[in-house]
Chains A and B, each alone.
Chain A
Amino acid sequence: MDAIILQVLNGLDKGSAYALIALGLTLIFGTLGVVNFAHGALFMLGAFCAVTLQRLLTLSFEQIDPTQKDFLGNPLKVQVPYVDSWFGPDVGAFLIDWSVPIAILFAIPIMLIIGVVMERGLIKHFYRRPHAEQILVTFGLAIVMQEIVRLFFGANPIQTGAPGVFTGSFDFGVLIGFGPNAIIYPYWRMVYFLFAVVVIGAVFAFLQFTTFGMVVRAGMADRETVGLLGINIDRRFTIMFGIAAAVAGIAGVMYTPILAPNYHMGMDFLVLSFVVVVVGGMGSLPGAVLAGFLLGILQSFASMNEVKSMIPGIDQVIIYLVAIIILLTRPRGLMGRKGVMEE
């Protein structure tokens, strides 16, 4: 029992990332009808927002510290971050320690702007083009974003730590009545999961309970009629693209302590996220979220040693296998709507 719960928990953080990216992909597909291959790159850009902020906060100048001596007895030169000298060492250390969560505040507006600019500048022209061309142009864009990031940050992964409070693990099993050390779970993965739930909840609430969201949903159902009613649906869809980009971005920001970001991390997630979207059903938001978590958890089950010894290599292919089975038995995915992406 505890082994099963452990695997479910292990699958949650990856599942959360899949769900968040797939949610954005579905949002873009459902509103604009565009297959966005640059979505993984947006996830990656978000992660690098966190890296950038950390670098900015740790920008330092050299200062002579009279209290410390080096081995020759001379006063020691130490690197003091600017934030330390501006706000005092306590606040400065706090800011640096919490740079990842703080990066969310920066990532949201930045990613919104990137999303809107991307949509107005490029995607706008591709509404009525074939999907193959949409895929190609966004793929090209993803390459460009990747390479620009590589230009500034290099090709190696960059470690970005979680706040000190959240490093390490805690004994989850004790909380739910198992013996000690049965289920050990890292804090930050729990945080990531809760964060994902909050973001997903916020997106759904936004679509469900605000007028803006209502109009967007109406536009997803029948864009033309909404347009004929005198509503500027294009502008709202553009904003939704920005929101989808921001969701992918903050998903990337929060993922940095789990996986040190490198410039091609987006592509790795993109392929799987597309599988997730298709399994969930093109155009279905709950489907994307459900499939994201489902596949994340399935993947962690498949990487258990017991399962691997029964079916060798299953951990490598489980997601694709599930995708194939689901697509063949339920053509529209788990929760796909009729008439989406069909002839």
Chain B
Amino acid sequence: MLGLSAKDTGFLLFVTFLTLATPILLQPFPETSSLAQFNAGYPDLMQRFAIYGIFAIGFNILFGLTGYLSFGHAAFLGVGSYSVVWMYKLLSFNVLPGLILAIVLSGVFALLIGYVSLRRSGIYFSILTLAFAQMSYNLAYSVFTPLTNGETGLQVYTSDPQILMGEGSTQVPNLFGLVMQDSIKLPVGDWLFTFNVGYYFTAVIAIFVFYISLRIFRSPFGLILRAIKTNRTRLSYAGINTRPYMLAAFVISGMYAGLAGGLLAAMDPLAGAERMQWTASGEVVLMTILGGAGTLMGPVLGAGFIKYFENIFSKINESVLHDWFGALPEPVRDFLIAIVSPFVGDGWQLTLGLLFVLVVVFLPGGIMEGARRIGSIFRRKPAAAEPAKLPETPPAVAGDPAGE
């Protein structure tokens, strides 16, 4: 189906099901229980899952397949956001023109940056992309203030032209009248499920771009990208000019990032320069590696994992901890709270940092490798005999720096 093998079709259907059922699946605890704060089924967070999933899927096409580590993808995220808000300002609150512009513009941007950056590889490539992104970030704050509205962030004002806006047009982001923030709430017993228009909009796009990424992974083009990661020199000896392939991968992943940035502004009509900061680029790198670079599902899982952590862990504060450990005798409770509290609430980044260190040390393949290892334990088969997984590719960004 759709040019996919039977197995991939099943996989895609499975992913589609997961994505569409997310509002139900992420709401496992009843509203009344004390575990309800671990529910992730509220619109804002789910939208973020889908959007950052798209961002990570795109990044994975570049990093996972070719091994080129870009530290500048946040620039495209910012470009996407700005284009959508500009379309709001000029045309109307319909998100479609903005998203199209976001994809096109970030593609052009990626073409320019990629053309220059791809002349170098390894860490030089990383620094070049970082330099471009930081330049865009700094310029967005200073010289380009007329375009970006500097520190305030770009937003829609009533004085904006909005030439396509009629009398009764919606004043919030919408898709031909479908308002993004609208939700249908469905109480089932103690559970409360929220089906949000914005989430389903992003989810459908996410499924579509996931399908594209699946096709790229299975295509000859994807094979060449993977060959670039394995051994670029040998590929060029075989008479293949790798540069156009790299550039194509870079542009595609840039467009994914632009789309994600555009969707961020589609959910919340605001764009700020901080979206272009290098920490945002670092975040997508972390998502991809945490989930498992080079795998199809990994980056999405990584993105979901980090966003979940960010939202849920940062909400746990001392009073919540008091509730949890309330039943324990006082000294034990105070001790536990003293131990746990640095890691939650404001300190969730500490947990995140520790988690990264642990994952990279013990599970370099990320969540996907963890799942595979657990799976192989249950199947009682040697891991090498599994045909399902992609062949392990040796590190390519590396080269051996120790002087060989």
Interface residues of A (CB under 8 A from B): 29, 33, 35, 122, 125, 127-133, 135-137, 139-144, 146-148, 150-151, 220-224, 267, 271, 274-275, 278, 282-283, 312-313, 316-317, 320-321, 323-324, 327-328, 331, 339-343
Contacts and interface: CB of A to CB of B under 8 A. Distances in A.
A343 B286 CA distance: 25
Given A131-B401, A148-B350, A320-B135, 20 more contacts: A33-B400, A33-B401, A33-B403, A130-B67, A131-B69, A131-B398, A140-B354, A143-B352, A151-B347, A224-B404, A271-B278, A278-B127, A313-B142, A317-B134, A317-B139, A328-B119, A328-B120, A331-B120, A339-B403, A343-B122
Contacts of B4: none
A313 B139 contact: yes
B364 A129 contact: yes
9 contacts: A128-B400, A129-B395, A130-B396, A132-B293, A136-B289, A317-B134, A317-B135, A317-B138, A323-B127
A282 B123 contact: yes
Contacts of B134: 271, 317, 320
B142 A139 contact: no
Contact of A223 (B278, B279, B402): B402
Q: Which of A33, A129, A147, A339 has the most chain B CB within a 10 Å cutoff?
A: A147
A341 B135 contact: no
Contacts of A33: 400-403
Contact of B401 (A137, A151, A340): A340
A141 B401 contact: no
B404 A331 contact: no
Given A141-B353, A317-B135, A131 B400 contact: no
B54 interface: no
B138 A130 contact: no
A343 B399 CA distance: 6
B124 interface: yes
A307 to B, nearest CB: 13
B401 A324 contact: no
Interface string B222-248: 000000000011000000000000000
A130 B357 contact: no
A270 to B, nearest CB: 10
Interface string B264-278: 000000000000001
A131 B122 contact: yes
Contact of A136 (B142, B347, B352, B356): B356
Interface string B384-396: 0000000000011
B361 A320 contact: no
B357 A137 contact: yes
B130 interface: yes
A320 B141 CA distance: 15
Contact of B353 (A127, A140, A323, A342): A140
A191 to B, nearest CB: 30
B360 A147 contact: no
Nearest to B290: A136
B91 interface: no
B349 interface: yes
A275 B132 CA distance: 12
Nearest to B293: A132
Nearest to B360: A137
Given A130-B395, A313-B139, A341 B403 contact: no
Interface range on chain B (Cβ under 8 Å from partner): 35 or more
B138 A313 contact: yes
B361 A122 contact: yes
B72 to A, nearest CB: 10
Nearest to A35: B123
Given A125-B361, A136-B360, A341 B353 contact: no
A341 B122 contact: yes
B128 interface: yes
A332 to B, nearest CB: 9
A36 B270 CA distance: 35
A321 B116 CA distance: 12
B131 interface: yes
Contacts of A340: 401
B135 to A, nearest CB: 4
Given A151-B347, A331-B124, A137 B142 contact: no
B57 interface: no
B142 A316 contact: yes
A313 to B, nearest CB: 3
A248 to B, nearest CB: 19
B257 interface: no
Given A147-B350, A313-B143, A343-B122, A136 B401 contact: no
A33 B355 CA distance: 24
Interface string B163-185: 00000000000000000000000
Contacts of B97: none
A267 B400 CA distance: 27
A327 B132 contact: no
- Pick the most buried of B119, B127, B144: most chain A CB atoms within 10 A of its CB: B127
A221 B286 CA distance: 33
B301 to A, nearest CB: 16
Interface string B122-165: 11100110111011001101111000000000000000000000
Interface string B211-223: 0000000000000
Contacts of A342: 121-122, 399
A141 B232 CA distance: 32
A150 B143 CA distance: 33
A64 B133 CA distance: 59
B370 to A, nearest CB: 15
B285 interface: yes
A130 B350 contact: no
B90 interface: no
A249 to B, nearest CB: 20
B45 interface: no
B312 interface: no
Contacts of A221: 403
B28 interface: no
Nearest to B145: A313
Nearest to A144: B353
Contact of A278 (B123, B232, B278, B398): B123
Contacts of A223: 402-403
A191 B211 CA distance: 60
Given A147-B353, A221-B403, A223-B402, A312 B128 contact: no
A139 B123 CA distance: 15
B397 interface: yes
Contacts of A35: 123
B342 interface: yes
B30 interface: no
